[in-house]
Amino acid sequence: MASNEWSRAQLRPDSQTGPVSDPRRGSATYTVPVAQFRTAQADTVIAPSLLAADFARLAEAADAVEGSVDWLHVDVMDNHFVPNLTLGPPIVKSLKAATDIPLDCHLMIEDPKRWAPGYAELGAYNVTFHAEAADDPVRLAKDLRAAGSKAGLAIDRDTPVEDYLEILPAFDTLLIMTIKAGFGGQKFMPELLAKVRTARAHADSGHLELRIEVDGGIADDTIAAAAEAGADAFVAGTAVYGAADPADAARRLRARADAARSSG
């Protein structure tokens, strides 16, 4: 876990709170707000990644899945935190004007405390930043909610989820990478589902209404395993936008996830 400075969260009047201990500060405890916005966890969320779409036709890509998906996943990369450069604020602004599908912005960037609130102000529904890049993730979560979005925390492939379990009450979404962040089209890594199981067990034991989102290699043959592990939101790029009928591909993914979740 990065050497972060944690701040004592300023509580909102409509927040529930709970004590959080920081292992780097001995027995000291801090209070963090339970995320203000909640979603119905019984519902499966399908979030196709625009990283796999034609960047010259993003509005058309959104139209192609209208009515079949819940979120549009927007991968923001800065060529510093990850070795790739993709979309940014102007594209998010244009997408917001072009579609009614909620935008799920995944920021793979350095210095998220500087940039993340701007995506919320542009109208993103959910803004997720990487734990590895954040000095004070709890404070940033509060700033995102104040700017009008949900707050998400992302955990990359090599980051232990255990290091962040105690601050999850401050977040609406936990995004667990099932590949190494930075490029689409990578092969799903099933061993990373252990993080999903750990996070889901922790959320359930603490009665947290937490979305657990998985990102990386999600397709017809992998989504059921992710759902059985405890994920309820699924980012799929090539599996949707590489299909002849993206809307049908998204519906098929939802059916497989729903079946796996109901059997679990």
- Can you tell me the distance from the alpha carbon of 85 to that of 50, in angstroms, rounded to the nearest whole number? 14
Is 264 part of any known ligand binding site? no
Q: Is 182 annotated as a binding residue?
A: yes
Residues 47/103/168/111 CA torsion (nearest 10 deg):
120
Decide: helix, strand or coil at residue 105.
Answer: strand
Residue 220 is labelled as binding a ligand: no
Q: Is 152 labelled a binding residue?
A: no
Annotated binding residue 75: yes
The 8 Å CB, 24+ separation contacts for 64-67 are 64/246, 64/247, 65/101, 65/240, 65/246, 65/247, 65/250, 66/99, 66/100, 66/101, 66/247, 67/247
Give the list of residues 6+ apart from residue 164 with CB closer than 8 angstroms, or none: 1, 131, 137, 153, 155, 174
Whether 163 contacts 176, CB under 8 Å: no
Whether 184 has a binding-site annotation, put simply, is: yes
215 is in an annotated binding site: yes
CB 125 within 8 A of CB 149: yes
Annotated catalytic residues are 75, 215
Q: Which residues are annotated binding-site positions for a divalent metal cation?
A: 73, 75, 106, 215
Known binding residues are: 49, 73, 75, 106, 182-185, 215-217, 237-238
Annotated binding site for substrate: 49, 106, 182-185, 215-217, 237-238
